Chain A
């Protein structure tokens, strides 16, 4: 008797492998098409001078040399570093503080939880618009608040020495909801018996925080710091929507430079060079996180 199923002739183990292979092919193809190919193509484009219409001209490393000599590029790079320091510290500490506050079972904590998380759900451009209004030089809420306290309000978005920090204020408001949520979830998952035992032994709040809670919250911290590092490198929308990198490029970041160079100045080759530098810098920043996460997965496997 002959079988109707052609796969029946294939050994079970081989069939099993084939199934894995087919299932893995889908994400692999998508990954190659949507990420690997564009990355290679961007890298290739960075060696050309191209306005998008005329035929591209090969110019070797010239785009990279030009970037190194550009003050605007160095300024944007420096601003990205500021964003990195900001993302790794302020929203992390704020989220943790809010989570600790609400973990103390305050009355109305459900309402506060919602209030703290809502900013994170608002789209970035809306956040930028709202904060632009608040930062308006003559009648913005922030301006009036500072003036009501008897101080001269700064030109929040127009003063090059502070405008990046002003944008960070908006980012802090929006991003802390996320860090709060991660830490709050982490706090709720901590084994209560450890904390209770410490309390019975007479440990104070700070001792419990630094000796028990924070070490146990390390996985949450890793998640927060990893995502924060990635976000600090790819920051674009908030800066673009609030200042477009100005005035006179003072608040610009690498992603803004990439966009401006490619789509405002139509120097697509040089824009690709900025993109590739951004990718390399982001990889260096994010690599420790990836390494740590991979090691954790390996430990779980063992």
Chain B
């Protein structure tokens, strides 16, 4: 019997050792590949253009691989490849808390040297630099940006009713009321993700708390009963929630655009991938549709960015060379021209942008521009999903009392997570 227990103990110890070894950093035999989830038409074409430029700059063989399943699918694959000891030299990450945590995990190579070579401090916007830095090091090189906080609108409806794009909350209310009086859905939201409704809150938060307050909120330092946050919720309720229709919860984000293109919905606050969607379906930018910044965001650009990170391993040098090459103006132009997104570098020639992207680019590089990251990707998991779901429920039910009750619960969660150091430092 003792022998059996001894064998069992040995087996368990071996299993524990094996799994610990799997979890810890491994001396990786890296594959010379850049992994990403950019598999759709324009995206893939963009990656291929970027690879072509990178290959012309580096005298070594390497390639790319599309991993299905979006960011979650890619992360799973990278995790598994690290356990198996054959990770890629580099992969795509959305700049935010995930990048911050990856930097802390010790898996990533600091890219500060490459950053300095390409003069990153001069060519990338300040808000972007903040979210790819950890301590004194840079851990990602950005290659694309998408903008949020803009309201897309059906130009035909605006022209029919003689409406001008609003620049203040008062004008916003006048436009929305006129639209409703004429039988249109003034504003819709996006179903299918906890993120779409909270994205629309950023304009109100910025209005009430400014850029400093925005960063405070991102860092978990602003209580959810702070007067600035309460004022932001009031603004959001008065200018967004009030006008939301009651259908969007049953659809996905693109359903809102389908309804906008069908002339049913007049305005929809969504990321700039909305433009790509409408263009793909045959609409011409600035003719059938356009966008305007939500009031309070006239000179504010809210973005999310894709960056390249390099994993520690035997192909680290090649990974660093690749990341630097992908951050070059030619590579950024090749990628973003095909995808229809905005290049983070200010060294590119903006002539390739379509009219919508050009408007976004001009706003991004204007002298008084304030550039802020999408706060949703900067907040810790668990908290952000619950907060996003609370906003979605509020947008759908318009029940402020229930929302306030949920915010009180989330405030407890925020305090605990803040004290545990789970919010990022940017």
**Residues of A in contact with B (beta carbons under 8 Å apart):** 40-41, 44-45, 50-56, 135-138, 155-159, 163, 243-244, 246-249, 260, 263-267
Contact = CB atoms under 8 A, between A and B. Distances in A.
A138 B249 contact: no
B247 A155 contact: yes
A137 B72 contact: no
29 contacts: A41-B19, A51-B105, A52-B75, A52-B76, A53-B79, A53-B101, A53-B107, A54-B101, A54-B105, A55-B23, A55-B24, A137-B247, A137-B250, A137-B251, A138-B259, A155-B246, A155-B247, A158-B247, A159-B250, A243-B192, A246-B193, A246-B249, A246-B389, A247-B191, A248-B194, A249-B389, A263-B76, A264-B385, A265-B381
Contacts of A138: 247, 259, 264
B389 A53 contact: no
Contacts of B24: 55
Contacts of B259: 138
A158 B381 contact: no
Contacts of A260: 385
Given A158-B250, A247-B249, A266-B75, A44 B191 contact: no
B76 A136 contact: no
Contacts of A248: 194, 389-390, 392-393, 396
B101 A50 contact: no
Contacts of A246: 191-194, 249, 389, 392
A28 to B, nearest CB: 16
A94 B191 CA distance: 32
Given A246-B392, A265-B385, A158 B19 contact: no
B48 to A, nearest CB: 28
B23 A158 contact: no
B248 A264 contact: no
Interface string B178-200: 00000000000001111000000
Contact of B249 (A41, A136, A159, A266): A159
Given A50-B23, A138-B247, A247 B264 contact: no
Interface string B50-80: 0000000000000000000000100110010
A247 B392 contact: yes
B101 to A, nearest CB: 6
A41 B17 CA distance: 12
Most chain B CB inside 10 Å of its own CB: which residue of A55, A137, A249, A265: A137
Contact of A156 (B23, B102, B250, B390): B250
Contact of B101 (A44, A51, A244): A51
In the complex, the 6 A-B pairs of residues with the closest C-beta atoms, listed nearest first: A158-B250, A158-B249, A265-B381, A137-B247, A248-B389, A52-B79
Contact of B381 (A163, A249, A267): A267
Nearest to B384: A265
B408 interface: no
Contacts of B382: 265, 267
Nearest to A156: B250
A264 B75 CA distance: 9
A97 B246 CA distance: 38
Nearest to B382: A265
Given A53-B102, A244-B193, A246-B192, A158 B389 contact: no
Nearest to A266: B381
A161 to B, nearest CB: 11
B255 interface: yes
B104 interface: yes
Nearest to B76: A263
B15 interface: yes
Contacts of A56: 20, 23
Interface string B12-28: 00011001100110000
Contacts of A45: 19
A136 B381 contact: no
A158 B396 contact: yes
A240 B16 CA distance: 33
B251 A158 contact: yes
A135 to B, nearest CB: 7
B308 interface: no
A54 B16 CA distance: 17
Most buried by B among A51, A55, A138, A155: A138
Contacts of A158: 191, 247-251, 396
B392 A136 contact: no
Contacts of A159: 249-250
B372 interface: no
